Amino acid sequence: MRVEHTLEPVFDKESRTLILGSMPSVKSREVGKYYGHKTNRFWQIMSKLYEEDIDDWKAFILRHHLALWDVIASCEIEGSSDSSIKKVVPNDIATIIDHADIKNIVLLGKTAYNLYNKYLFEKVKREGIVLPSPSSANATYSLDDLVREYQIIKDKTENS
């Protein structure tokens, strides 16, 4: 089924690290929140990483000089399965790059990383850092393992 990305990018001129996923899940699109499925560990990771509760997720992203979006603007996908993604139309991340102080680009999961390299790298000429997917389907990593891996987001942002 053809799916359109329905969530707006979250960034401001102070954003220094752009975090990109592949495409919002069915649940994320329904609730209007990135990583909105209750089993996705992204917000737990970020809460532990920054040692704070996250009540307003958009304010949290901006307060920590982050930006949040996805590689894909539209695609064919079955449910929320990254492995079923076909016929990709990428987002124009230059929208963020041109209006924010982006120093780092982080891709959440191998699919996002591969799609970024295929569709967006040539346009923005910036290497991306791949991190493990926060999806509960990625059972290889415990929450603590993910927090350790995601530490690079905090370190790179604070030092750029």
In angstroms, rounded to a whole number, what is the distance separating the alpha carbons of residues 65 and 101? Answer: 9
The conformation of residue 9, written as its DSSP 8-state character, comes to P
Among all chains, which residue has been given the structure tokens 């699109």? Answer: 29
Average pLDDT over residues 43-49: 98
Higher pLDDT, 65 or 26: 65
pLDDT at 83: 76
pTM over 0.85: yes
Q: How many residues does the chain have?
A: 160
Q: Phi/psi class of residue 32: alpha, beta or left (left: φ > 0; alpha: ψ in -120 to 50)?
A: left
Give the model's pLDDT for residue 78: 86
Decide if pLDDT at 157 tops 90: yes
Residue 99's alpha-carbon distances to 18, 21, 114, in angstroms, are: 12, 20, 25
For 81-102, what is the mean pLDDT? 92
- The whole-number average pLDDT for the span 43-62 is 97
For the segment 23-33, the average pLDDT, to the nearest whole number, is 91
Amino acid 32: pLDDT: 94
Give 28's pLDDT tier (boundaries 50, 70, 90). very high
